[in-house]
A and B are shown apart, each in its own frame.
Chain A
């Protein structure tokens, strides 16, 4: 069990800059009413961020090309999306997703 002081400082620095953006909106929004237009803008955040995180999972960024697509992940997304639409269940989708990904990796 060793603890390097410079690593501890990096962890503490990382903790502070992670804590602040998480907490500040919760502290501030209690006291001010948000304008209607901001509320409307915020209502689009969940869909946009979920979509962006999904796209992020099948993008490969490397030095050799501008952008490449992880076709195996994209292939696993198809059955997973169908199951999500069909079952509307978080747990079933996650299980089917993991099985699909494992199958795709096994086959290709």
Chain B
């Protein structure tokens, strides 16, 4: 009886695919509103519905998709568009590096799957679960990733289809859902830290803000995000005794 009970407990503690789907829900407002906006921008950049759909299926990165559209309109050459996309998405390298150590027990193919569908949002949800010292599993991660991926493709395509009839989605404040989510994720990260270190982490946040403000005067913001993160994580490592 006891053995059975522990076994059941053990099984319950490994999060399932549907738990991953459920944990994705708070991020969906962001995906849907940004996705629809992306589809509208794509359509107005003279991309066909099929091209917008392919863009979201194959590139699957919000900021990069917007920038690709902008560069297409500007008539930039292939090399410039691809290189800019590379730089804009380079921060995924940091996100992947942060999550990967928690998935080493799974097969190479599964790991490639986790990486392929990694986004700021899915990273946020996973990092938050790890910070709360909850177990993460392959099925949970796939549930989270596939839900986000499906909603992103559908929203982008929908935006491209109805692009001409939907007025500016910014008016509703939906574009702010991403910022709101990052605010909540930041608070949840701080919440999971040792109380004695709170002041130290708050000082790091101040460094990030200062570094972003200064760097944004000289480089595009996607480079500032990358550099600020690298610089302040290094400051944190050096100063944390």
Contact = CB atoms under 8 A, between A and B. Distances in A.
Interface of A: 1-4, 6-15, 17-19, 21-30, 34, 37, 39-59, 61, 66-67, 73, 76-77, 80-81, 84-85, 88-91, 93-105
Contacts of B171: 102, 105
Q: Is the interface of A mostly helix, strand, loop or mixed?
A: helix
Given A49-B229, A56-B225, A98-B29, A26 B115 contact: yes
Interface string B220-233: 11001100110011
Q: Is the interface of B mostly helix, strand, loop or mixed?
A: helix
B100 A94 contact: no
Contacts of A6: 78
B64 interface: yes
A45 B233 CA distance: 6
B4 interface: no
15 contacts: A2-B50, A21-B93, A22-B95, A40-B240, A45-B229, A46-B123, A50-B183, A50-B185, A51-B208, A56-B212, A56-B224, A90-B27, A91-B26, A97-B173, A97-B179
Interface stretch (B9-17, B147-155, B188-196): B188-196
Nearest to A16: B82
B118 interface: yes
B153 to A, nearest CB: 13
B179 A26 contact: no
A24 B58 contact: no
A51 B205 contact: yes
A100 B176 contact: yes
Contacts of B97: 25, 29, 42, 45
A28 B101 CA distance: 10
Contacts of B60: 18
A55 to B, nearest CB: 4
Contacts of B233: 41-42, 44-45, 48
B72 A50 contact: no
A90 B185 contact: yes
